[in-house]
Amino acid sequence: MTPMVDLKAQYQTLKAEIEEGLAQALTSSQFILGPNVKAFEEEAAAYLGVTHGVGVASGTDALHLALVAAGIGEGDEVITTPFTFIATAEAICYVGARPVFVDIDEKTFNIDVEQVEAAITPATRAVLPVHLFGQAADMAALEGIAAKHGLLIIEDCAQSFGAEIAGRKTGSLGFAGCFSFFPSKNLGGYGDGGLITISSDPVARHLRGLRDHGSWQRYHHSELGFNSRLDELQAVILRIKLKYIDQYNAERRRIAQRYSTALAELPDCIPPYEDRGRTHVYHQYTLLSPQRDKIQAALAAKEIASAIYYPIPLHRQAVFQKAYGDITLPVSERVANQCLSLPVFPELSDLQVDRIIEVIRSILLGK
Ligand SMILES: *Cc1c(COP(=O)(O)O)cnc(C)c1O
């Protein structure tokens, strides 16, 4: 059996370190905003090249609180991609703003920067790109558009911990970067968790209070806030895994390279595009094929997992049908029908990769 991700295998390699760290935290019993959350925020901020990290309860909350801190609310519009996980758009809706979906670039699956300007209206306040599958969106183009029109950029970095563009890490490029530590992400905890990266001192201070019931001084509440803190035990695990993230991402890249070299030779199969100026960290390895259902069935017959991220673009989701029923975003719709993500995780063996390539070869070459 080859799964999409093998959390048990990774735990086995880190077991001693994690159990010792957890035992120390349990002994100290500082469970809420304790020393590990503070240390993780500082270590992650240093790694990502930003001044501040603010730990929150999930990636969804990171997006939500970043939008609140940006002052975005009722009547505002935020331009984003329809080809992402629902949380990206949910967060925009939580603050009362409207997601405006722009189609994607068919090579990178990220927001098509050429279509962003046409979507700007007097109500537009921000652009929310997602660095999908671990490859940065075209940030230079977005920075130009944002500066010209006075918009903020809020990055959805849930899938891109460690990814770079022009030598800078995602999460350091806009007003705020929003990370998720859902267990299957490149940097994953053992439960929910998230981080907002920010370079402005006052905005970071605002966020530290927002995540803690709108309180900057105990039992004084000057603003309606949230209960959304990064958990101390999750911070213990994340501090340990952060030490290995470059190694994990390098291993993902190595596996992706092996897949792409083999798959590039096959008919009806487009391996993921990797832009030269960007370091793709392969949260997902996603190919395009008009025969993806056949490939998926053949893999399943050999007990190899694969997944469709995402089968339905957000403007086609039932929850958004009323609001977006009349729009067509052809590239997202075509990609949703042809995309297939293969297993990619640091512990995946070369033998497993070879077997996966062999199954796809035999299906596409009809042998
Ligand atoms: C996982 C994910 C989120 C949400 O993160 P949670 O920690 O699960 O709330 C948001 N956006 C994208 C693109 C994601 O992949």
CA angle 214, 216, 221 (to 5 degrees): 45
> 284 CB under 6 A from ligand 1?
no
- Write out pLDDT tens, residues 263-297: 999 999 999 999 999 999 999 999 999 999 999 99
Contact criterion met (CB below 8 Å) for 151 and 127? yes
Contact criterion met (CB below 8 Å) for 364 and 263? no
Question: Strands, E, within 38-128: which ranges?
Answer: 52-56, 77-80, 98-101, 124-128
CA angle 139, 144, 147 (to 5 degrees): 115
Question: What is the rounded (10 degree) CA torsion for 176, 178, 179, 180?
Answer: 160
Instruction: Pull the structure tokens for residue 211.
Output: 């995540």
Q: How much is the pLDDT for 54?
A: 98
To test ligand 1's pocket by mutation, which of 159, 187, 282 has the most ligand atoms within 8 angstroms of CB? Answer: 159
Active site includes 185? yes
Q: How much is the pLDDT for 191?
A: 98
150: phi then psi, degrees, rounded to nearest 5 = 65, 40
Helices 7-28 + 35-48 axis angle, to 10: 130
Domain 7-242: which CATH number of 3.20.20.70, 3.40.50.970, 1.25.40.10, 3.40.640.10: 3.40.640.10
Instruction: Pull the structure tokens for residue 338.
Output: 């042809």
Taking phi first (over 0 means left), then psi (-120 to 50 degrees means alpha), and beta for anything else, what does residue 304 get?
A: beta
> 157 CB under 6 A from ligand 1?
no
Contact criterion met (CB below 8 Å) for 181 and 24? no
State the closest ligand 1 atom to the C-alpha of 182, by its place in the atom list counted from 1. Answer: 7
DSSP letter assigned to residue 307: B
Q: What is the DSSP string of 120-185?
A: --TTEEEEE-B-GGG----HHHHHHHHHHHT-EEEEE-TT-TT-EETTEETTSSSSEEEEE--TTS
> 87 CB under 6 A from ligand 1?
yes
Tens of pLDDT, residue by residue, the chain (367 residues): 999 999 999 999 999 999 999 999 999 999 999 999 999 999 999 999 999 999 999 999 999 999 999 999 999 999 999 999 999 999 999 999 999 999 999 999 999 999 999 999 999 999 999 999 999 999 999 999 999 999 999 999 999 999 999 999 999 999 999 999 999 999 999 999 999 999 999 999 999 999 999 999 999 999 999 999 999 999 999 999 999 999 999 999 999 999 999 999 999 999 999 999 999 999 999 999 999 999 999 999 999 999 999 999 999 999 999 999 889 999 999 999 999 999 999 999 999 999 999 999 999 998 7
First to last CA, the chain: 23
Instruction: Pull the structure tokens for residue 50.
Output: 């930003």
**d(C-alpha 163, C-alpha 158), whole Å:** 11
State the closest ligand 1 atom to the C-alpha of 84, by its place in the atom list counted from 1. Answer: 13
> 170 CB under 6 A from ligand 1?
no
Q: Is the pTM of this model over 0.85?
A: yes
Alpha helix stretches (DSSP H) within 211-291: 232-242, 245-263
Ligand 1 center to 60 CA (angstroms)? 6
Ligand 1 center to 179 CA (angstroms)? 8
Taking phi first (over 0 means left), then psi (-120 to 50 degrees means alpha), and beta for anything else, what does residue 358 get?
A: alpha
Contact criterion met (CB below 8 Å) for 63 and 179? no
CA angle 204, 207, 209 (to 5 degrees): 115
> 88 CB under 6 A from ligand 1?
yes
To test ligand 1's pocket by mutation, which of 65, 132, 180, 185 has the most ligand atoms within 8 angstroms of CB? Answer: 180
CATH of domain 245-364: 3.90.1150.10
Binning the chain into helix, strand and coil, the percentages to the nearest 5 are 45, 15, 40
Ligand 1 center to 94 CA (angstroms)? 15
b/e string for 135-150 if b means 16 or more Cβ within 10 A? bbbbbeebeebbeeee
Type and span of the H or E element at 286: strand 285-288
Ligand 1 center to 293 CA (angstroms)? 25
Ligand 1 center to 218 CA (angstroms)? 30
Same fold, 7-242 and 245-364: no
Q: How much is the pLDDT for 326?
A: 86
The candidate with the shortest Cα–Cα distance to 279, out of 259, 249, 244, 241, is 249
> 84 CB under 6 A from ligand 1?
yes
Domain boundaries in the chain?
7-242, 245-364
**Nearest alpha carbon, ligand 1 atom 10:** 87
Of 185, 243, 294, 322, catalytic: 185
**Nearest alpha carbon, ligand 1 atom 7:** 59
> 189 CB under 6 A from ligand 1?
no
> 62 CB under 6 A from ligand 1?
no
Position 206, amino acid:
H
> 60 CB under 6 A from ligand 1?
yes
Position 10, amino acid:
Q
303: phi then psi, degrees, rounded to nearest 5 = 60, 40
**d(C-alpha 309, C-alpha 184), whole Å:** 14
Q: How much is the pLDDT for 236?
A: 98
**d(C-alpha 289, C-alpha 106), whole Å:** 13
